[in-house]
Structure 1
Amino acid sequence: MLNRSRNLVALAILAALSPISNSAFAQDSSLDLSGNVQDKEIETLIVTGTRSQARTQFDTMSPVDVFSRDEMDATASSELVDILTTLAPSFNVQRLPMNDGLVFVRPATLRGLSPDHTMVLINGKRRHRSALLGSNGAQGADLAQIPAAAIKRIEVLRDGAAAQYGSDAIAGVINIILDDSVGVSGYTQAGQYFEGDGFEWQTALRAGTKLGDDGHLSATFEYTDASMTSRSRQRGDAIDFEQQTGIKVNNPVQHWGQPERTALRLALNAQSSMGENNWYGFATYGESEGVSDFNWRNPLSTSAYKPSPNNYPDYDLHKLFPAGFSPKFGQEDQDFALTTGISGDVTADFSWDASISMGSSAIDYTLDESINASLGTDSPTQFYLGQLKQSELNANLDFVYQWANRILVYPANIAFGVETREETYQIGAGDYASYAVGPAAQEGLPSGSNGFPGYSPQQAGKYDQRSYAGYIDIEAPINDQFTTGIALRYEDFSEFGDTLDGKVSLRYELSHDLAFRGTVSTGFRAPTPGQLESTRTSQGLDTVTLNLFTSGRLSPTSPVAQYFGAQPLQAEESTSYTLGITMRTDSGFNGSIDIYQIDVDNRFGQSQNYNVTESIRQELLSQGVAGAESFTSVNFYTNAFDTRTRGIDVAGNYTFATAYGDIRVAGAVNYNDTEVTKQDGTISDSGVVRIEDGLPKFSGNLSATWQLDSWEYFARLRYFGKWTDSADQASGQLYQDFGSEMLLDISATWHSSPAFKVRLGVENLFNNYPDEATLQASRGLIYSRHAPYDTDGGQYYVRFDYKF
Structure 2
Amino acid sequence: MTNASLISLAALAVALSIAGPVAAQDASPIVSDRTSDNAEFDESLASEQIIVTGTRRTDRTVTESAVPVDVFTAQDLATQPSPNLQTIIKNLVPSFNQQRNAGADGTAFVRPPTLRGLPPDQILVLINGKRMHRSALVQVAGDDLSTGSQGPDLSQIPSVALGRVEVLRDGAAAQYGSDAIAGVINLGLRQDADGIELNARYGQSYEGDGEDIQISGNIGLALGEGFLNISGEYVDQSLFNRAIDRPDSAALRELGIDVPFPPTRYGQPEQDAYRVVVNSAVPFGDMNELYFFGNYGYADSEVDFNYRRPVAVTVPGAVPFPGQPQRPDQTFGKSVGTIYLDPIPGLLTAGGAPVYDAGGATFEASAFFPDGFVPLFMSTNEDVYGVIGVRGETDFGMLFDLSAATGQDRIRYTMNETLNPSLGPTSPTDFYLGSLTQQETNFNLDVSYPLEVGFASALNIAGGLEFRRETYKVGLGDPESYAIGPYATQTVQRADGTRFQATAGVGANGFPGYGPDSVADGSRNSYSAYVDVEADIVEAFTLGVAGRYDHFSDFGDTVNGKISARYAFSDAIALRGAASTGFRAPTPGQSFTSNVQTGFPNGSTVPVATATVTPGSVTGEYFGSQPLSPEKSTSFSGGVVLTPMPTLTFTIDYYNIEVRDRIAITSPFQVSAADQAALSALGVANAFDLGQVNYFTNGFETRTQGVDAVLTHRVMTGFGTFNSSLAVNYNNTEVTGISRPEAISGQRAANIEGLTPDFRGVLSTNWTYDAVYVTGRLNYYGEYTSYNAVPPPAGTPDLTTQSFGAELSFDLEAGITLQDRFRIAVGAENLFDNYPDRELRNIYPATGAQASGRLYNDASPLGYLGGFWYVRVGMDL
Q: Same fold (TM over 0.5)?
A: yes
Q: How does 1:319-358 map to 2 (within 5 A)?
A: 319-358=367-406
Counterpart mapping for 1:446-485 below 5 A: 446-485=505-544
Per the alignment, residue 793 of structure 1 pairs with 866
Query: Residues 80 and 146 of structure 1 are in contact (CA less than 8 Å); yes or no, is this contact kept in structure 2?
Result: yes
Partner of 1:759: 825
In the alignment, the residues of structure 1 paired with residue 421 and residue 134 of structure 2 have an alpha-carbon distance, to the nearest angstrom, of 36
Q: Distance in 2 between matches of 1:766 and 1:550?
A: 49
Q: Is the 8 A contact 1:772 1:782 kept in 2?
A: yes
Q: Report Cα offsets for 1:56-106 as digits up to 9, x if no partner.
A: 110111110111222212222111110001111010111110000011111
Establish whether residue 51 from structure 1 lines up as the match of residue 56 from structure 2: yes
Deviation at 1:638, TM superposition (A): 1.7
CA offset digits 1:501-558 (Å, max 9, x no partner): 000011101101221111010000001221012133569999xxxxx99964333344
Residue 771, structure 1, aligned to residue 837, structure 2: yes
In the other structure, the counterpart of 1:3 is: none
Residue-by-residue CA offset, 1:565-617 (whole Å, 9 max, x unaligned): 43321100000000011122334012211001000000112223455667668
Which of 336, 339, 360 aligns to 1:304? It is 336
Distance (whole Å) between structure 1 residues aligned to residue 249 and residue 406 of structure 2: 49
Q: 1:696 to 1:609 in 2, by over 3 A?
A: farther
Matched residue of 1:304: which SS? coil
1:11 maps to what in 2?
A: none
Match among 433, 451, 458 for residue 385 of structure 1: 433
Alpha-carbon distance between aligned partners in 1 of 2:393 and 2:522, rounded to the nearest angstrom: 39
Aligned to 2:804: 738
Q: TM-score, normalised by structure 2?
A: 0.83
Partner of 1:440: 487
1-structure distance, mates of 2:363, 2:592: 38
* Separation in 1, partners of 2:577, 2:600: 48
Provide the rounded CA distance (Å) in 1 between the counterparts of 2:109 and 2:181. Answer: 25
Query: Residue type matched to 2:76 in 1?
Result: E
Once the two structures are superposed, the pairs formed by residues 175-574 of structure 1 within 5 Å of their partners are 175-181=186-192, 182-213=194-225, 215-243=226-254, 245-276=255-286, 277-299=288-310, 300=312, 301-302=333-334, 304-310=336-342, 313=361, 315-406=363-454, 408-443=455-490, 444-537=503-596, 552-558=611-617, 561-562=620-621, 565-574=624-633
The 2-side partners of 1:122 and 1:282 are apart by 9
- Compared CA separation, residues 523 and 684, structure 1 to 2 (3 A): same
Q: CA deviation at 1:45?
A: 0.9
Shift of 1:42: 5.6
Alignment partners' CA distance in 1, 2:632 and 2:654: 20
Distance 1:358 1:429 in 2: 24
Counterparts of 1:541 and 1:87, CA distance in 2: 46
Q: Secondary structure at the match of 1:778?
A: coil
Counterparts of 1:572-587 in structure 2, within 5 Å, are: 572-587=631-646
| Cα 1:61/1:375, change in 2 over 3 Å | same
The one-letter amino acid paired with 2:196 is V
Question: What displacement does 1:469 show?
Answer: 0.4
Measure the CA separation in 2 of the matches of 1:540 and 1:722. 38
2:702 maps to which residue?
643
Counterparts of 2:597 and 2:107, CA distance in 1: 13
Please list the CA deviations of residues 259-308 of structure 1 after superposition, one character each: whole Å capped at 9, or x if unmatched: 11011010000011122421111011100001100011123224533222
Task: Quote the residue 2:496 is aligned against.
Answer: none
How far the C-alpha of 1:322 sits from its partner, in A, is 2.0
Q: Is residue 2:72 matched to residue 1:67? A: yes
Inter-CA distance 705–375: structure 2 relative to 1 (3 Å threshold) = same
Aligned residue identity for 2:244: R
Q: 1:789 to 1:309 in 2, by over 3 A?
A: same
* Corresponding residue for residue 135 of structure 2: 130
Between the two proteins, what is the percent identity of the paired residues?
41
Q: Secondary structure at the match of 2:249?
A: helix
Is residue 2:748 matched to residue 1:687?
Answer: yes
Q: 1:618 to 1:78 in 2, by over 3 A?
A: farther
Distance 1:714 1:461, change over 3 A: same
Q: CA deviation at 1:347?
A: 2.6
Per the alignment, in what secondary structure is the counterpart of residue 75 of structure 2?
helix
CA contact (8 A) 1:701 1:716 kept: yes
Paired residue type of 1:250: P
The 3-state SS of whatever aligns with 1:433 is helix
User: Are the equivalent residues in 2 in contact too, given 1:727–1:775 (CA < 8 A)?
Assistant: no
**Deviation per residue, 1:404-427 (Å, 9 max, x gap):** 112x11111100010000000011
Q: Distance in 1 between matches of 2:387 and 2:853?
A: 46
Change (3 A) 1:627 1:781: farther
**TM-score w.r.t. structure 1 length?**
0.90
Q: 1:775 to 1:186 in 2, by over 3 A?
A: farther
1:482 counterpart letter in structure 2:
F
Q: Residue 415 of structure 2 aligns to which amino acid in structure 1?
A: L
One-letter amino acid matched to 2:759: F
Shift of the 293–626 alpha-carbon distance from structure 1 to 2, 3 Å rule, reads farther
Instruction: Classify 1:324/1:537 alpha carbon distance in 2 versus 1 (closer, same or farther; 3 Å).
Output: farther
Letter in 2 for 1:207: I
For 2:182, which of 162, 171, 177 is the aligned residue? 171
Task: Kindly report which structure 2 residues correspond to 1:30-45, keeping only aligned pairs within 5 A, or say none.
Answer: 43-45=48-50
CA distance 1:781–1:551, change in 2 (3 Å): farther
Answer whether contact 2:47 2:61 (CA < 8 A) is retained.
no
Q: Deviations over 1:677-730 (max 9, x none)?
A: 10021111111012111111111100000012321011000011111223469x
| 1:710-754 C-alpha deviation (Å, 9 max, x unpaired) | 21011000011111223469x999432111101000011012221
Q: Is contact 2:307-2:375 (8 Å) kept?
A: yes
Residue aligning to 2:158: 147
Maintained 8 Å contact 1:330/1:365: yes
Distance 1:471 1:740 in 2: 44
The 3 A distance-change label for structure 1 pair 628 and 90 is farther
Q: Is the 8 A contact 2:825 2:871 kept in 1?
A: yes
Partners of 1:126 and 1:57 lie apart in 2 by 22
Partner of 2:100: 95
Cα pair 1:697 1:721 within 8 Å, conserved: yes
The secondary structure found in structure 2 opposite 1:347 is: coil
Q: Hey, what's the Cα distance between the residues in 2 that align with 1:405 and 1:210?
A: 41
Tell me, in whole angstroms, the C-alpha distance in 2 between the residues paired with 1:99 and 1:780: 15
Q: For the Cα contact (< 8 Å) 1:451–1:539, is it kept in 2?
A: no
Q: Distance in 1 between matches of 2:98 and 2:526?
A: 30
Residue identity opposite 1:145 in structure 2: Q
Report deviation, 1:108. 1.1
Q: Structure 1: state its 5+ residue gaps.
A: 1-27, 29-38, 543-547
**Post-superposition offset of 1:559:** 5.3
For the residue of structure 2 that corresponds to 1:295, the secondary structure is: coil
State the SS of the aligned residue for 1:465: strand
Listed as ranges, the gaps of 5+ residues in structure 2 are 1-34, 36-43, 313-332, 344-355, 491-502, 602-606, 793-797, 843-849
Structure with the bigger RCO (C-alpha within 8 Å, sep 6+) is 2
Counterparts of 2:46 and 2:367 in 1: how far apart (Å)?
A: 74
